[in-house]
A and B are shown apart, each in its own frame.
Chain A
Amino acid sequence: MSVITYRQALRDTLRAEMHRDENVFLLGEEIGVFEGSYKITEGLLKEFGERRVRDTPIAEEGFVGAAVGAAMLGLRPVVELMTINFSLIAIDQIINHAAKIYGMFGGQTSVPMVIRTPGGGGQQLGATHSQNIELFYSFIPGLKVLAPSTPAEAASMLRAAIRDDDPVLFLENLGLYNTKGEVPDGDDTVAEIGRAAVTREGTDITLIGYSRMAMVASQVAEKLAEEGISVEVVDLRSLRPLDRETIVESVRKTGCAVVAEDDWLTYGIGAEIAASIQEGAFDWLDAPVRRVAMAEVPMPYAKPLETAALPSPESLITAVHETLRAVGRRVG
């Protein structure tokens, strides 16, 4: 067992997958000589050469579209989009082509590509570079969307994404790259796509999150345990397919839930989770499902304002307290 960063787990996995399968190659801007804006591809150009690590012109629609074509040939491109914000320039190729070619070509041509990209704010990158728009892709039949929160998950889920025959949007997070966690040495686990994980068992309330907010949820659960509140944490891990069964099973046990999300509240991922809970656990609910999300404003640039806009551990704790009060517990 080694303790490594989320960044290192991604890099190690890319490297191992490139050794495992000659068809896997990397494509994107700044990923070669510059080794990636967030250094995920560090050392890979040197090791694998330009044939496997392709620096591209600065044209997201172009290189995502070219990757779709390469995938149609049977290659396994792993595209890096510098941030998920830039996927907006490539959105036609993602939604209209990567996601639909398999169906529109009568199931004859799969598009086994991965788009790796970080979302998230908190880095003072301003309104256009700090968004959480994974919802757009989670909405689309034909795509799969994975959102790991720990280094071990990042590794096993990236393996799964690369080996999967469907197009996968692999969501990373700027706030997770430097986080550390245990990863088994020589691990070759391939995560099952579409499975959430109960990362902490509890009995009083279910706290649901994904990506950075799954990590925050775990920290909050730890803190609430000191107050004698037993929180069960569900890490969604996969946004499409969504593991409704695990969510519902947990809420049926605890009787109440708070959803934590970094995106905007209205029409957000949390809305889908809340709807799934009322469909599957209505009779078990003792209180309304609460959602904690980012303020519904374009992300501010000024540090104090950015911090104010993002959901905080404190806002989660408050939501948990209020929910438990609603079911008649004395808390906080």
Chain B
Amino acid sequence: MSITTAQEEPELIQLLTPDGELREHPDYPLDLTAAEKRGLYRDMVLVRRFDSEAVSLQRHGELGLWASLLGQEAAQVGSGRALGADDMAFPSYREHGVAWCRGVAPKSLLALFRGVTNGGWSPDEHGFHLYTIVIGAQTLHATGYAMGVQRDGAVGDGGSAVISYFGDGATSQGDTNEAFNFAAVNNAPVVFFCQNNQWAISESNDRQTRVPLYRRASGFGFPGLRVDGNDVFASLAVTRAALQHAREGQGPTLIEAFTYRMGAHTTTDDPTRYRIAAELEEWKLKDPISRLRAHLAGTGEGDEEFFAAVDAEAERLGEQVRQECRSLPDPQPLDIFHEVYAEPHAHIDRQRAEFADYLASFEGAGAEGGR
């Protein structure tokens, strides 16, 4: 009996090598203009700058928590730019690059992590749902949503699709496997976009799976593929194809974007405790931004003036989000009773009234809260 294991080298779909060389792929032709390529470069640089600013804000006590996307810019920008206006994305909590592509302002993401709002942005307006913190749960929401899209007849010509983002850790969860099965059985128009960043907090890939993750799809009966997640061109091309496949009513696809979490899991984590520095150095050679820069410089599609302008824009963005974050208004105590239920609820009304009375009892009290 032969068992396919993770040790075998799986095929990696790549259109742009780490050195910035273009590669043709028969199944994923991509014809981008120079302006489009420069746009992807700008997206990635700005998103990285915004992300590093958010880490810094958290270090200064301005945010409760931040989950850095450092290293995953190509997977997120490539797939994010593949989405159509009518498509819907269900993110986990690290998809700041996809949020950027969906027109969600950085300030809105900071508002969420600062805790001044639970909303932050309108999911319908942006085609980008709010972050889900529980690992893998959103794969089921995306599947149910996609089944609804299918039920409403929005597949076929001019149809729309749903994409669910999650990490390698989520592939071990029951929710994700149930979502795969439901989507397969119902032929739901959903793309499962797994960013395999090699680490589920401290659990490495080989502690999570014996087979390359993309091969899981075949057991459920739909296509799976592994793309170089540090290659923005390939990420864009495969996601575009998978979304079109879904929109046309051909069902789900699992995309495993093979990438690397260059930073910590979140700001509460210290990766030096569980992984060796050499690994990070190795992945730096495959950096998503420098390879596109090398390509643009090599072809002349981007010159020093362009790179300098993007860098300057990134600095301005960093400054801007720092200011915006600090000027976000604090929520008020009574806000805790908002948005518990969509409809009026006696318990909530009673608690709100009691708490309002309690707060009112401090009004007019002296500086020492005296009586």
Contact = CB atoms under 8 A, between A and B. Distances in A.
Given A142-B341, A166-B343, A103 B134 contact: no
B144 A102 contact: no
Contact of A75 (B148, B338, B339): B148
A186 B296 CA distance: 72
Given A106-B339, A142-B340, A66 B122 contact: no
Interface of A: 25, 51, 56-57, 59, 61-63, 65-75, 77, 92-93, 96-97, 102-110, 112, 141-142, 144, 164-166, 193-194, 240-243
Given A61-B178, A92-B134, A103-B118, A66 B347 contact: no
B341 A65 contact: no
Contacts of B122: 108
Contacts of A77: 144
A105 B178 contact: no
Interface residues of B, number: 42
Q: 7 closest pairs, A vs B, by CB?
A: A106-B119, A69-B144, A65-B140, A62-B178, A66-B144, A69-B141, A107-B339
Contact of A68 (B124, B140, B174, B346): B140
Interface in B114-137: 117-120, 122-124, 129-130, 132, 134, 137
A164 B175 CA distance: 27
Interface of B: 90, 117-120, 122-124, 129-130, 132, 134, 137, 140-149, 151-152, 174-175, 178-179, 181-182, 185, 338-343, 345-348
B118 A106 contact: yes
Contacts of A96: 134, 137
Contacts of A165: 342-343
Given A66-B182, A74-B148, A93-B140, 6 more contacts: A25-B151, A75-B151, A92-B134, A102-B340, A108-B123, A194-B345
Nearest to B152: A73
Nearest to A64: B140
A194 B141 contact: no
24 contacts: A25-B151, A57-B181, A59-B182, A61-B140, A62-B179, A65-B179, A66-B147, A66-B179, A66-B182, A68-B141, A70-B147, A72-B129, A73-B145, A73-B148, A93-B137, A102-B339, A103-B339, A103-B340, A105-B118, A105-B119, A108-B124, A166-B343, A194-B345, A242-B347
